[in-house]
Structure 1
Amino acid sequence: MSNRKNVFFYYAKSDELEDKLSTVFEDIEKSGFRIVDDFKDANIIVSVGGDGEFLQAVRHTEFRQDCLYVGITKEDEAGLYCDFQLDRYVDMINAMEDNSLEVRRFPMVDVTINGESTFHCLNEAAIRSAIIKTIVMDVYIDGDHFERFRGDGLIVATPTGSTGYNKSTTGAVIDPKIPCFQVSELASINNNRYRTLGSSFILNQDRTLRIEVIQDGNDYPIIGLDNEAYSIRNIKTITIQLSDKRIKTVKLKNNSFWDRVKRTFL
């Protein structure tokens, strides 16, 4: 890791946290690293504040492919993206100094709206009605019509995103080593007119999911990308594919994804 020495910290600023981090900054610089103020100058990006802050850090630093991300929690809490705790920040420094450090590679999905704007997601993309009315969408897989959905919305989750919003809708938890993405329903309506699969389904990395919003007054659905909501007018099509990019994170040894799932949920 000798060629990675510029460190950028991403966190919600407060006097209390700034006070705690001042000691961390001193010890990191004593270890031969340099704290930088611009994420574009960094090759290590550290988020402080749990999984939500980690997702914000990745999004607001533009899903950097040429650096490593490190997640650190402020409290003694489980985190699926965060291996380190602020009270034990020395573990993070030791991992950053280790030339044989272990790195995870998390898959993302690319979300293209109306064939124009493309967004990355590390966790999930959710398409929901913005009004008190069900939303109707046609679902296509590789260009072939699969189903007409009517309900509150759909969640398209990455393997790491499968443990969050997706899991709460009885979707499966997916090993992040499997290159795929998952589609889960939100309160689907099944009757003589509308018929859906009624369960989550998983698509391989080479599949393309296309969702067409039926223009019946619900033309402005809410698009949730990770933990940010976007209001985009006149949405007609949403195309989702597994990205060829990966987010690289520093991990503790002997701390697998399934170890963290067990600590978080069991």
Structure 2
Amino acid sequence: MTDRKKVFLYYNSSQELETKIQDLRNLGKKYEFQLVQDAAEADIIASIGGDGTFLQAIRKTGFREDCLYVGINAGRLGFYTDFNLSNLEGIELGMKSNIVEVHRYPTLDVTVDGKQHFQCINECSIRSNIIKTFAIDVYIDGLHFETFRGDGMVVSTPTGSTAYNKSLRGAIVDPRLKAIQLTEIASLNNNEYRTLGSPLLLSGDRELVLKIIQDGNDHPIIGADNEALSIRHCHEVQVKISEKQIKTLKLKDNSFIHKVKRSFL
């Protein structure tokens, strides 16, 4: 599968899961993989769980570019998890054959108020913290595009287009496209506020800036993938495609199109 041999396992421990993971450890030893306790030392970071665990593994280990991320599902196959913990034969086949390949996923660079910086692989969301709409001025490459009022907005990557974005009726985007998608959450459209009213797909070289209008509801929740960040008094959120990409190990016969069909059709 790879010449890299140092592996860090990321998972939420449970008695049931530990028994299965021990079998995985034994399989790794068979092929001379070395388990490490510190993710910083790893060549391969394997998340065991679902897509949510995979997202957390990337976030908690710092979006590393110098290692491979591998998703191993403890249940059904997901969008980021090509391997299944209940199918050790399939994992072993991947270790000793050429049925796997490295995919590179784009990430988002997000800057809040010019000082707080973080990355996302699925999406960055900004939502009202109370049961009240709030307003956002939307700028694209410095041009004022619209003034939004509603419950919030989501900026997603192509790989994240099947997640929160899809539940908002956003488009599913082929990950081969370098793009970002802006999707509204319950926008108001009246004589005072007028928005596009549909998802907007932007080229990956665009810069998106969301400026929160300070009208008493200026404590939005900012989400980075599946994690809410403790950022208050937010005024401006800048989002663009990062130069950093995440390398993942995938099965050749389990493409994005296969996953979309299996998950939604």
* TM more than 0.5: yes
Q: Is the 8 A contact 1:220 1:231 kept in 2?
A: no
Q: Is the 8 A contact 1:95 1:250 kept in 2?
A: no
Residue 258 of structure 1 and its aligned partner are, at CA, apart by 0.7
CA 1:93/1:37 → structure 2, altered by over 3 Å: closer, same or farther? farther
Tell me the number of residue pairs that the alignment of Structure 1 and Structure 2 aligns. 265
After TM superposition, the structure 1 stretch with the greater mean CA deviation from structure 2, 87-96 or 132-141, is 87-96
Tell me the residue number matched to 2:11: 11
Counterpart mapping for 1:160-175 below 5 A: 160-175=159-174
Q: How many Å separate the matches in 2 of 1:161 and 1:100?
A: 25
After TM superposition, the structure 1 stretch with the greater mean CA deviation from structure 2, 184-193 or 82-91, is 82-91
SS at match of 2:103: strand
Q: How many Å separate the matches in 2 of 1:87 and 1:253?
A: 20
Q: Is the 8 A contact 1:108 1:246 kept in 2?
A: yes
Tell me the residue number matched to 1:53: 53
Letter in 2 for 1:247: I
Q: How many Å separate the matches in 1 of 2:36 and 2:96?
A: 17
The alignment yields a C-alpha RMSD, in angstroms, of 1.2
| 1:22-61: CA deviation from partner (whole Å, max 9, x where unpaired) | 1110111111111111101101111011101000011001
Q: How many Å separate the matches in 2 of 1:151 and 1:130?
A: 12
Residue 232 of structure 1 and its aligned partner are, at CA, apart by 1.1
Tell me the residue number matched to 2:83: 84
Tell me the residue number matched to 1:126: 125
Q: Which ranges of structure 1 fall in alignment gaps of 5 or more residues? A: none
Tell me the residue number matched to 2:104: 105
Q: Is the 8 A contact 2:77 2:84 kept in 1?
A: no
CA 1:103/1:213 → structure 2, altered by over 3 Å: closer, same or farther? same
Residue 68 of structure 1 and its aligned partner are, at CA, apart by 0.6
Q: Determine what percentage of the aligned residue pairs are the same residue.
A: 54
Residue 136 of structure 1 and its aligned partner are, at CA, apart by 0.3
Tell me the residue number matched to 1:36: 36
Asked if 1:186 is matched to 2:179, the reply is no
Q: How many Å separate the matches in 1 of 2:97 and 2:217?
A: 52
Q: Is the 8 A contact 1:134 1:151 kept in 2?
A: yes
Residue 261 of structure 1 and its aligned partner are, at CA, apart by 0.9
Letter in 1 for 2:207: T
SS at match of 1:152: strand
Q: How many Å separate the matches in 1 of 2:97 and 2:112?
A: 42
Q: Is the 8 A contact 2:99 2:252 kept in 1?
A: no
Counterpart mapping for 1:64-83 below 5 A: 64-75=64-75, 77-83=76-82
After TM superposition, the structure 1 stretch with the greater mean CA deviation from structure 2, 245-254 or 4-13, is 245-254
Q: How many Å separate the matches in 2 of 1:2 and 1:186?
A: 42
Letter in 1 for 2:10: Y
Q: How many Å separate the matches in 2 of 1:183 and 1:84?
A: 31
Residue 100 of structure 1 and its aligned partner are, at CA, apart by 7.7
Q: Which ranges of structure 2 fall in alignment gaps of 5 or more residues? A: none
Letter in 2 for 1:131: I
| 1:160-185: CA deviation from partner (whole Å, max 9, x where unpaired) | 11001100111000001101110000
Tell me the residue number matched to 1:27: 27
Letter in 1 for 2:30: K
SS at match of 2:53: helix
Q: How many Å separate the matches in 2 of 1:97 and 1:217?
A: 59
Counterpart mapping for 1:113-262 below 5 A: 113-262=112-261
Q: How many Å separate the matches in 2 of 1:56 and 1:97?
A: 28
| 1:164-222: CA deviation from partner (whole Å, max 9, x where unpaired) | 11001110000011011100000000011100000000111110000000011111100
